[in-house]
Amino acid sequence: MSYLSIKNISKKFNAGDADEVVALDGINLDIADNEFICLVGPSGCGKTTLLRIIAGLETATSGKVVLTDHEITGPDPERGMVFQEYSLFPWMTVSENVAFGLEMKGIDKETRTAKAMEFIELVGLKQFANSYPHELSGGMRQRVAIARALATDPAVLLMDEPFGALDARTRNTMQRELLGICERTEKTVLFVTHSVDEAVFLSDRVVVMSARPGRIQEIVEVNLPRPRDRTAPDFSDLRRHILNMMGEQTS
């Protein structure tokens, strides 16, 4: 039985005087509990739009998304969202940012502060609990965003290019840390990325989407043991296969 089920999702945007723009066309995908899925595809193929529909931030033109036994009709703390831009409140400390979702749920201050600290420690930022976002590096700010999303104990973690703005070294570090966090929290993750290397490193399956209108071109199983070696032949073969599918031939 699927944990998260995307059923025949299509999305059209009205482009004013121009014809309608079909962003997504007939997307069907079943995701298991505790599975890590990456979405890849060319710019404009609807990856972020699909993620926003699952988050309840966009409405599909047709189709539905079902989480466990209920249809998604709007935003809910059961779906935690991490954006590329860190989206932290600059006037709040790390602890206050992480506790924000718990405060919105009406949880008392003592409980939410303790819960926030639990996830701040999980992402390795205990000594920065009273710091402000401008005092942190990009990677640290994104750890805060992940901790905030996890603090409300969502059923699904939705991540939209969360490491896209980071330098290569920090990005690789964050990928390893994210896998460790997901292993400890046993979260189901849907992760949007433009990086095929990142997708193969992180995911159980890579969903390759076509150029607009976005359709699922292929679902690639990544049956490689973790931790994964980016230089291994099997890793390179999978990466090359996906790149070729996306029309980006490599030598």
CA distance 230 to 133: 32
- Does pTM top 0.75 for this prediction? yes
Per-residue model confidence as pLDDT tens for the chain (251 residues): 579 999 999 999 886 666 788 899 999 999 999 999 999 999 889 999 999 999 999 999 999 999 998 999 998 888 999 987 768 999 999 999 999 988 888 899 999 999 999 999 989 999 999 999 999 998 899 899 999 999 988 999 999 999 988 889 989 998 999 999 999 889 999 999 999 999 999 999 999 999 988 999 999 999 999 999 999 999 999 999 999 988 753 33
**Six-digit token pair at 161?**
């290019």
Contact 193, 40 (CB under 8 A): yes
Amino acid at 71: E
Please write down the HEC assignment for all residues of 52-111: HHHHCCCCCCEEEEEECCEECCCCCCCEEEECCCCCCCCCCCHHHHHHHHHHHCCCCHHH
What's the pLDDT score for residue 249?
37
Strand partners, 13: 21
Residues whose CB falls within 8 Å of the CB of residue 189, separated by 6 or more in sequence, listed in order: 35, 36, 37, 156, 157, 158, 159, 182
148, amino acid identity: R
